Structure 1
Amino acid sequence: MAKLILKKKSKRMTCRRKFKILAKIREHHRKLRKEERKKRKEMKSVPKSLKFKPLIHIPNSCPFKEEILNEVKQNKLQMEERKKAEKEEQKKNNLETIVHEAELKQLKFQNSELAALKNLEEEILKNKVKGFDDFKDDLKRVVKRADVILEVLDARDPLGCRSSDIEKMVIENGKRLVLVLNKIDLIPKENIKKWLAYLRKEFPAIAMKSSTQKPSSKLGWVKGPLVNTSKSVGGDFLMNILANYCRNKDLKTSIKVGVVGKKNIFSAFKKIIV
């Protein structure tokens, strides 16, 4: 009888099937790694207190079971109280640290403010000294070049506008000084007369009202005692005094006149045509 021989199946396969199997294996391994990473991440996020801890069981046959359980319970309470005390102490230290840091910042801010204020005061004082020196130099130059010095005074406070140092400098340089009582339209006539009488005891004095006309209009003055006008009043008296000084000095053409006083007082005085 002939023996039947079965042909062994070959393990050969197409490349398409082979690569498909390898791709499925890679995908399976990728999923396993992903799950593993996910589990590790979840375990890390769980607090240590919640992680699994092995329980220690005390058998009932132990003769000192109650004492051991009481001791464990007492140790647990002591540990909780210690942790609570440490937390309170840490909180207190944090509060003290915050207060201390705030005090340091405030002290630093105050020191910086004081330093800035001191620098500002020094700068202001330096500017004042510089401004005073410049004013002094200009005043000396005016007194030296001028033949007559007009000291402009505010009729509302003549004594407060006078400067004994300026008057002394003018006299020492041998110059003539004339006191000009400006803004006479702001005080009563009786006060004007009394002030003129008082000022003329020391130097020649005249009363004037500066022009309030617009710069575009033709400026001029009014002769006589009229005060309620936009034109200058008292300019004719000033011209007469300057003309007398010209004759006294044998001058026939011109005379140099210097004007001194506070800025706000003779700002309008410059409009007078001399």
Structure 2
Amino acid sequence: MTDNLNEDDGTSEMEFPELEPPTLIDDGQFTIPDGWEETEFEQGVYGPDQKEGVQARFESESDTIEVIPVEFERMGNSEFVQGLNSDMGKRESSPEIDEKPDIDPQTSFAVHLRYDTFSSWDSEYYTITSSGDDALAVACWLANADVAGSTAELDEIVNIHNGETMDYRDRSDKDRLEDSFAEDPGRCLISGSPTQSHEVSIPFRYAPLLEGYPTTYQDVPAIPETVDSFRATVSHTEWTEHELDEDAFQSQVERTAEGEYTLDEDVIDIVEGFPAEDVTLATLGEE
């Protein structure tokens, strides 16, 4: 499919329905929308490395979005996902995987969807994250996108994520994210001045706050197949003045009610509005 849809044969540019943008982060919180229910939530430590994280399930009629603690491994041309507290798992092999760095087995968190299609049901590992709180945020964003408009059902959201739909560019989330971020961050997260003094890690759950973060036409954040974190830099002056350390942006999400989760206001104040093009997005296995 070509990018130019205005050929001489009279084909006009495809038009899409006006959808109400999903609410992703509101007043420092991400939540599930009306019509969805939190049916499971457990914070704990998971895997042989005793990693802190979360296990959760959201349900709406016959659709389910889960955050599942898993063991993730990449070796050669194959990736392996195995549930730590369930028998859910998958193995995927491709030449594209062979180009990625190997990853020893590590505790991670999968966002898993089970949803209705036109004739039956399907399931999808939407993304694998290094943080349970990041996976929880992604699950909430997808639930909100599901109720944002008549075409934003989970099967359509998955198709767009994978680049398997006839949208105006027919691109996957992976393609949307290419060339959107800095190869090496070089602007201070706080002052905006050039610097490479201190590198900090910003959890992926703050993605919607970054200016220019890529989205689909449904305003769903583009989400890679695996997620580690954003990397940014802070000048030594700001580092000292704000008394920062390597864990300054790593506070856990607070569950304030069923289906309601609160982010760190101090991190929001710093991250909100910072250009996405001035941070690096690291996936699993990247240094």
TM-score band by shorter chain is under 0.3
Relative contact order, higher structure (CA 8 A, sep 6+): 2
With normalisation by structure 2, the TM-score equals 0.19
Larger Rg belongs to: 1
With normalisation by structure 1, the TM-score equals 0.20
